[in-house]
Structure 1
Amino acid sequence: MFSSPYPDVDVPNLGIYDYLFGDLAEEDLDRVAVVDGASGAETTYRTLRGQIDALAGAVAAQGLGVHGVAAILCPNIPAFATVFHGLLRAGATVTTINSLYTAEDIANQLTDAGAGWLFTVSALLPAAREAAERTGIPAERLVVIDGADGHPSLADLLGAGAPAPQVSFDPATHVAVLPYSSGTTGRPKGVMLSHRNLVANVEQSRGMLDVGPEDRVLALLPFFHIYGLTVLLNIALRQRARLVTMPRFDLPEFLRIIQDHRCTYLFIAPPVAVALSKHPLVAEYDLSSVHTTLSGAAPLDGELGTRLAQRLGCRVLQGYGMTEMSPVSHLIPRDGVDVPVSSVGYTVPNMQCRLVDPATGEEIPVPAEGTSAPGHLLCRGPNVMLGYLNRPEETADTLDADGFLHTGDIATVRADGVVTIVDRLKELIKYKGYQIAPAELEALLLTHPGIADSAVIGALDADGQEVPMAFVVRQPGPDGAALDEDAVMAFVAAKVAPFKKVRRVEFIEAVPKSSSGKILRRMLKTTAPAAGAAKQ
């Protein structure tokens, strides 16, 4: 085993609300907590805490508490902080839903999570309403944050005047948030993260990230993703920083917000790093306020990280984690020296890791000098999930008897503890930080009358980023003969969320499979054509 070079931290036995807001100092109350990047509207810590208490009181008065589940379908706006922490303040469990999901996707998650409430915004109301109707959520429990006829609004709940409830639960076992992840394989599953998991991961990460009260943190990465939820929302609030929200990526607006709000700390995914390092528009804005950029959610190429650092004149860091780890397990520290940006840095405090030979199951030792052989990365710590909701078999496949989470990623470790992710055992595709299960797209492709067989892999585009690529076997006859690349992509695009779209297609004679029928994706990866421009 190996662990962090940093000393363990104390993890307080508190719910996330008490941890973040319980010791809010008088001098911080009038400090700005959240800013709407588009309008510039500001919310202070005093106001935010008051809104959280008011929302908790309103939903508790209607019976939502420790045994209830509420869903949030909402882009990054300041109100997200109020709703999310207000629901947790009431003792409810919150399941966060991808804003790009279709009505069917939303309904599936609501059903699986057992959600009785849904909070959304008017722009997403059509899909939200359809999903709520399918799952039996009444109109009075479909809250439209910015208001819509026939539904309560956030203002209605904040104005109800009910006092915040007194709630009691065990932070170590009570599920705070239920994000959905495909884990190491398969369809999305509810990841049960306790209050202690969330508190622990903020404590484990905040010292290495070194976000401070004077920082202005740009919140582009979605709060519905655990990366945005922990690393942006919760760490920024814990550190009394100023969080500047942005609901969706638009490069000119992204650059304007950085310039106008003098953002100092950027948390991004690799596709944004590509834009920042290459696009000529970047030179038209003053980004001199940025001192640090951290990339996560998918691997960042070392050369790209170096180019980004040179162009912005800032420190570029990389981190690693999984939803199942709340999510952070490894970080390049802000003050780290001799840590290559192509690595994911050091193990965070309070965690232990192992590397295991995937073929033999034997432990791979940390070398006395140099870099270890590659092995399957296993992690254990207070930030590791309780398990998958109602999925005991999948939980047992991912969490072993010793409490180690099997990440599905292949890594190496240097003698000094620096970890680098070098490959992936699992089959998931990481497109712009979103997880895509190939089996889901393969099953959809097989419903097309012109497709006899299919396989989907992650292939690199011209910028070195992973995109979904389909290998398709045409069905004999006119349906198959009429099939071309654009038709395949259009068929998938009409039925899935935008991030799941197939962006490259190759027609083949047969899908390579093992004797047991398993698709041999590694063979497809070696025969994939050279990277080209992927469809957007």
Structure 2
Amino acid sequence: MTTIDPFDPLEPFDPFDSFDVISPFDENLVIDLPVYETVLGEAAARGTSPALIDGVTGRAIGYRELERATRRLAAGLADAGVEQGDAVALFATNTLWYPAVPHACARTGAVVCVLDSQADEAELAAQLTESGARWLFTTPALLPIVREAQRLRGAGQRPVEEVFTLEPVDGHRSVQDLIASESPEPIVDIEPVTDITVVHHAVGSRRRAQLTHSDIAADLAVLASDNPLEKGERVLAGVPFAQQDGLAFLTQHALRCGAAVVVVPELMHAPELLDAIRDQRVRTAFVTQSVLYGLVASAPEDVDELGSLERVVCVGPELTPDTAETCAALLGVEHIEYLGRQAFAGIAPPLPGA
């Protein structure tokens, strides 16, 4: 096997020399780093440069603050009982603190089970049973669904031990509460090639995509080649973090590159997204097709109002040439770009006994 650092600018690297065209992963490429080092290894040195920006309020989390928060959040999770190999469910819509959770869990050696935020009570109950999660992170608005899902699981199912929230709410410990822990940061031995760190569960499917630390690093090498981002570049989060591509591009690729991810909770509200593009000087909009169509429908007549916007990267199948050309013109960009690599290929059968 070959161990290289594809992110080193001094090391010439073409991912497509070694990657199969169907999958971004190759067993002969090994990037032997935990995901939090791959993504946030340079975060402390970036200081107060924004890593995450609330597109509505303008509240920003700097890179040094984010890196420290993931360490303290990991300490808080360990203090709560999270151990290496445990499953932690993440069932939430886009919020400012969402990206910190997977990286903090990785520092504890836990596996993050990313659940579809569009799941209803029955679907969530099934996903929680399949994942075997002992803890769950959610947003206050989704708490009623979480409670009903717990009730539907019924007798004989191991309940989630504690539900944490990404924003403060009475009756639950929040991310901020866990970050305030004074416990020491956990020390775990990570095997990047074999240790699973993220599992994606899709609504309506008993199959799941599971990724090791090395899998994610290999995928980031492809993204770095196909969809490069510059330090300080502001990227609109127009894709749910809970989607595989959203988690990869926004919480991993963009942060590894030093970009600033602009978060707007209601992805389908095009006027808010357009306001965020204007107010936060967004240069790249990373969007689903439905969000793209919403932006186009609400775009200002004078595209100069979106003067900072230079790129639109769309998730999903390519549009017809005429549709893509029209969308690009109405948003004032040269053309519509696409993600440029296959979705995650780490597909596994259902969990034993699920």
Q: Give TM-score, length-normalised by structure 2.
A: 0.84
The equivalent of 1:96 in structure 2 is 114
1:190 aligns with 2:151: no
The equivalent of 1:388 in structure 2 is 349
8 Å contact kept, 1:191–1:389: no
Rate the CA distance shift 1:5–1:81 in 2: closer, same or farther, 3 A: closer
> For residues 233 and 82 of structure 1, what CA distance do their matches in structure 2 show?
8
Matches within 5 A, 1:252-271: 252-271=271-290
SS at match of 1:95: strand
Q: 1:240 aligns with which of 242, 254, 258?
A: 258
> For residues 187 and 106 of structure 2, what CA distance do their matches in structure 1 show?
12
The equivalent of 1:137 in structure 2 is 159
> For residues 144 and 188 of structure 2, what CA distance do their matches in structure 1 show?
34
Higher helix share: 2
The equivalent of 1:272 in structure 2 is 291
Deviation at 1:280, TM superposition (A): 5.6
8 Å contact kept, 1:122–1:146: yes
SS at match of 2:339: strand
> For residues 50 and 290 of structure 2, what CA distance do their matches in structure 1 show?
30
Total equivalences in the alignment = 325
Deviation at 1:5, TM superposition (A): 8.6
Deviation at 1:13, TM superposition (A): 0.7
> For residues 120 and 308 of structure 1, what CA distance do their matches in structure 2 show?
34
The equivalent of 1:108 in structure 2 is 126
1:171 aligns with 2:189: no
Deviation at 1:61, TM superposition (A): 2.4
> For residues 169 and 143 of structure 2, what CA distance do their matches in structure 1 show?
9
> For residues 115 and 90 of structure 2, what CA distance do their matches in structure 1 show?
6
Deviation at 1:311, TM superposition (A): 2.5
> For residues 190 and 16 of structure 2, what CA distance do their matches in structure 1 show?
31
Question: What CA deviation, in whole Å up to 9, does each residue of 1:492-535 have, x standing for no partner?
Answer: xxxxxxxxxxxxxxxxxxxxxxxxxxxxxxxxxxxxxxxxxxxx
Matches within 5 A, 1:262-411: 262-279=281-298, 281=300, 283=302, 286-315=305-334, 316-319=336-339, 323=343, 325=344, 384-385=345-346, 387-390=348-351
> For residues 304 and 352 of structure 2, what CA distance do their matches in structure 1 show?
49
Higher strand share: 1
Deviation at 1:242, TM superposition (A): 0.6
Q: 1:56 aligns with which of 70, 74, 99?
A: 74
2:339 is aligned with what amino acid? G
8 Å contact kept, 1:273–1:305: no
8 Å contact kept, 2:299–2:330: no
8 Å contact kept, 1:71–1:95: yes
Deviation at 1:87, TM superposition (A): 1.0
Question: What CA deviation, in whole Å up to 9, does each residue of 1:460-490 have, x standing for no partner?
Answer: xxxxxxxxxxxxxxxxxxxxxxxxxxxxxxx
SS at match of 1:13: coil
> For residues 246 and 298 of structure 1, what CA distance do their matches in structure 2 show?
24
Deviation at 1:252, TM superposition (A): 0.9
Structure 1 segments (4+ residues) deviating >6 Å:
none
Matches within 5 A, 1:58-97: 58-97=76-115
* Higher RCO structure, 1 or 2 (CA under 8 Å, sep 6+): 2
Deviation at 1:283, TM superposition (A): 4.2
Rate the CA distance shift 1:252–1:282 in 2: closer, same or farther, 3 A: farther
The equivalent of 1:417 in structure 2 is none
1:34 aligns with 2:13: no
Rate the CA distance shift 1:214–1:151 in 2: closer, same or farther, 3 A: closer
Deviation at 1:271, TM superposition (A): 2.2
8 Å contact kept, 2:44–2:63: no
**CA RMSD across the alignment:** 2.4
Question: What CA deviation, in whole Å up to 9, does each residue of 1:1-23 have, x standing for no partner?
Answer: xxx89545975211101111234
> For residues 14 and 118 of structure 1, what CA distance do their matches in structure 2 show?
26
1:254 is aligned with what amino acid? L
Rate the CA distance shift 1:303–1:195 in 2: closer, same or farther, 3 A: same
Deviation at 1:230, TM superposition (A): 0.3
2:159 is aligned with what amino acid? I
* Structure 1, unaligned runs of 5 or more: 326-383, 393-536
Rate the CA distance shift 1:232–1:5 in 2: closer, same or farther, 3 A: closer
8 Å contact kept, 1:175–1:193: yes
Deviation at 1:65, TM superposition (A): 2.3
8 Å contact kept, 1:90–1:167: yes
2:260 is aligned with what amino acid? R
SS at match of 1:178: strand
Q: 2:169 aligns with which of 148, 161, 176?
A: 148
Rate the CA distance shift 1:322–1:126 in 2: closer, same or farther, 3 A: farther
* Structure 2, unaligned runs of 5 or more: 1-13, 20-28
SS at match of 1:78: coil
Percent identity of equivalent pairs: 28
8 Å contact kept, 2:98–2:166: no
1:218 aligns with 2:236: yes
Q: Give TM-score, length-normalised by structure 1.
A: 0.57
Rate the CA distance shift 1:5–1:40 in 2: closer, same or farther, 3 A: closer
1:211 is aligned with what amino acid? L
Deviation at 1:277, TM superposition (A): 3.6
8 Å contact kept, 1:277–1:304: no
